[in-house]
Structure 1
Amino acid sequence: MPRPRRIVLVRHGESEGNADDSLYERRPDHALALTARGRDQAEATGRELRSLFGDEPVSVYVSPYLRTHETLRIFALDRGRVRIREEPRLREQDWGNLQDPEHVRQQKELRDTYGHFFYRFAQGESGADVYDRVGAFLESLFRSFEEPGHPPNVLLVTHGLTMRLFCMRWFHWTVAEFEALANPGNGEKRVLELGEDDRYTLDKPFERWREPRSYGETD
């Protein structure tokens, strides 16, 4: 089965919710737009992507959130060379509906103790839930590689946690390894590059916020 030469993961630019978490009380998470800074981040990443892809075609999958669609639009990729599909399985981790920021902060503290992979937000999802839908997306992605003339580039415009879980699923990282990693910054990308050995490698590691530990260990 032919496979793309590179798979690029990009986190959306800074959103209004990243800049002011009180907005989650009044507006749906999926409807939050980019800030001016987020648009600048997307423009910078877009220049990198246009240089990376050159004249090659690209298969694009984008989370259905407003901020990811805006980020993709600002990339200004050659529309004649890209195929765009909205992919709900690449959405942000669900944290519930309109949210009390203080309650979310309390839950994030509990998550640090309970575990980022297994902790489920009230009325929302756990990291494990996101992992499952990312795995289902990967099955669809692999099937797409069998299509005649599949582009040599795949671009996913998504969210930080989803990026980490995609790589966890792809590279078979353990839960402990995943939980030690931090999200990439807004507008940052990671590239899975296909080597001569027909295996993918990550161009840049995720930063760690702690050392991996096995379950049963204490701080």
Structure 2
Amino acid sequence: MDLSRRPLRIALIRHGESEANLDKTIFERVPDHAIPLTPHGHEQAAKAGRELRELFEDEPVRVYVSPYLRAQQTLDSLGLDDLIGFGCEEPRLREQDWANYQDTADIEQQKELRDRYGHFFYRFTDGESGSDVYDRVSSFLETMHRDFENPNAPRNVLLVSHGLTMRLFCMRWFHWSVRFFETLRNPGNAETRVLLRQPDFRYKLDRPFEQWTHYEPTERERSAWL
């Protein structure tokens, strides 16, 4: 691969505040993929869009977006349509599958089990484990790298996705350990992380993920961010 074709920036953004962030029982009535943003979620996305426009220096962007409604609405509210030269709905960037219509009490019990068992390996009944999402993100990375080879590929890439998926993307990209991943918090709604290309054509995160429990990253894990 010609390393000079690698994008200058790969930005990841979590969807804005959704109805499920305010009412967990909505999963009993509405499919996860059909849950919309709240008005505040649209405002969060619009603010993030202004910041991303500055980051992208008003240059073209290739976008990959989860097919979930809240991610699609986040992309719309970013206000970057004039910059998006290439756009692609990418099912492999969807949220972790937890169930179909969910039983709220059962999911809360499973969350407690997951906390004891481990977020990466615990598989929800009728759903996925974190390791399942890791595998599909790995498959997506192969596609993304092939897209880099296009001589007309934009210098900016944007992924509009979900908190867990963002963490697992970075875990796969930077080869973080499962133990380190287990300590990381999701970014907030409409929060970003940006992989910035360095002079040696490698990438570093603009800032680390917050940790919810203590773990001292290895030197390689610490080297992932600026």
TM-score by length of 1: 0.95
Determine the structure 2 residue equivalent to 1:23. 26
Determine the structure 1 residue equivalent to 2:166. 163
Contact 1:8 1:190 in 2 (8 A): yes
Q: Secondary structure at the match of 1:82?
A: strand
Determine the structure 2 residue equivalent to 1:33. 36
In the TM superposition, residue 81 of structure 1 has moved relative to its aligned partner by 4.1
Moved over 2 A (4+): 78-82
Determine the structure 1 residue equivalent to 2:64. 61
Q: C-alpha distance in 2, partners of 1:93/1:198? A: 31
Q: Does 1:177 align with 2:175?
A: no
Q: C-alpha distance in 1, partners of 2:117/2:84? A: 45
Identity among equivalent positions (%) equals: 63
Q: Secondary structure at the match of 1:124?
A: coil
For residues 1-219 of structure 1, what are the structure 2 equivalents within 5 Å? 1=2, 2-79=5-82, 81-212=84-215
In the TM superposition, residue 21 of structure 1 has moved relative to its aligned partner by 0.5
In the superposition, relative to structure 1, how do residues 112 and 195 fare at CA in structure 2: closer, same or farther (>3 Å)?
Answer: same
Letter in 1 for 2:32: D
Letter in 2 for 1:139: E
In the TM superposition, residue 80 of structure 1 has moved relative to its aligned partner by 5.4
**Superimposed CA distance per residue, residues 168-206 of structure 1 (whole angstroms, 9 cap, x where no aligned partner):** 000000000000000000000000000112110000100
**Superimposed CA distance per residue, residues 78-134 of structure 1 (whole angstroms, 9 cap, x where no aligned partner):** 435431100000000000100011111111111110000000000000000000000
Letter in 1 for 2:86: R
Determine the structure 1 residue equivalent to 2:222. none
State how many pairs are aligned.
Answer: 213
Q: C-alpha distance in 2, partners of 1:153/1:70? A: 20
How much is the aligned-residue C-alpha RMSD, in angstroms?
A: 1.1
TM-score by length of 2: 0.92
Structure 1: where are the runs of 5+ without partners?
Answer: 214-219
Q: C-alpha distance in 2, partners of 1:93/1:196? A: 35
Contact 2:193 2:207 in 1 (8 A): yes
Q: C-alpha distance in 2, partners of 1:78/1:12? A: 17
